[in-house]
């Protein structure tokens, strides 16, 4: 059986997507709901500038990441996948968030082979370097870029990523679907057959 390299985003993919929204609404004096977040760049629906959202993140980022909840089923699926495959977390978080990220993964007992903090949303080079056979993501633009580089993507459904998808991006609704697609890939021996 082939041991796959699986790249996994953290925020919105491993975590619940809107764990930051309550604090952002409090901070900005807004009352934006989850359904109103239709763009990954959340400053727009909040009606604030990118600089203001950056200041909010600089002040509360560590706390937000610590408070984040895991998506239902993610822990169990990742633990099972880890027994047979390589798990690489690849996140846009900055290096300053390494310690809280490591502690959070440990708190939830989520195993991994590596944690890469890019400080940017550009994940293609890292996915290529790690030879990712699959990438699990929530940001639409990342999914499209990865797909264009021949990295197949499981795009976990969110209100901010509902746009047309390239052929090698599959929209999923749960972590049990992640496991199902990866198991199918392994049993068929070719990811293209799983699409």
Could you read off the pLDDT of 68-77 as tens digits, one per residue? 999 999 999 9
Give percent above pLDDT 90 in the chain.
82
pLDDT tens for each residue of 98-112: 999 999 999 999 999
User: Across the strands, what pairs with 90?
Assistant: 116
Task: Report pTM.
Answer: 0.92
pLDDT in the model for residue 191: 46
Q: What residue ranges do the domains of the chain occupy?
A: 5-16+71-194, 21-67
Q: Three-state SS across 40-102?
A: CCCHHHHCCCHHHHHHHHHHHHHHHHHHCCECCCHHHHHHHHHCCCEEEEEECCCHHHHHHHH
Specify the CATH superfamily of domain 5-16+71-194: HAD superfamily/HAD-like (3.40.50.1000)
pLDDT in the model for residue 192: 46
Judged by average pLDDT, the poorest of 11-20, 73-82, 181-190 is 181-190
Mean pLDDT of all residues in 145-171: 94
Q: 125: which 2 tokens?
A: 């080079």
């Amino acid at each position: 059986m082939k041991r796959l390299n699986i790249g996994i985003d953290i925020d919105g993919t491993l975590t619940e997507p809107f764990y930051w929204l309550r604090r952002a609404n409090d901070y900005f004096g807004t009352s934006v709901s989850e359904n109103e977040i239709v763009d990954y760049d959340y400053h727009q629906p909040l009606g604030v500038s990118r600089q203001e959202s950056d200041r909010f993140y600089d002040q509360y980022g560590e706390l937000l990441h610590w408070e984040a909840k895991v998506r239902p089923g993610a822990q169990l699926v990742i633990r099972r996948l880890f027994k047979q495959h390589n798990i690489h977390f690849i996140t846009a978080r900055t290096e300053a968030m390494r310690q809280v990220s490591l502690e959070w993964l440990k708190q939830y007992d989520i195993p991994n082979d590596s944690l890469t903090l890019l400080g940017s949303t550009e994940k293609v080079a890292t996915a290529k370097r790690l030879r990712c056979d699959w990438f699990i993501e929530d940001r639409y633009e990342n999914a499209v870029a990865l797909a264009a580089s021949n990295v197949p993507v499981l795009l976990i459904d969110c209100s901010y990523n509902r746009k047309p998808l390239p052929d090698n991006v599959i929209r999923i609704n749960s972590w049990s679907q992640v496991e199902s697609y990866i198991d199918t890939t392994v049993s068929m021996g070719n990811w293209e057959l799983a699409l």
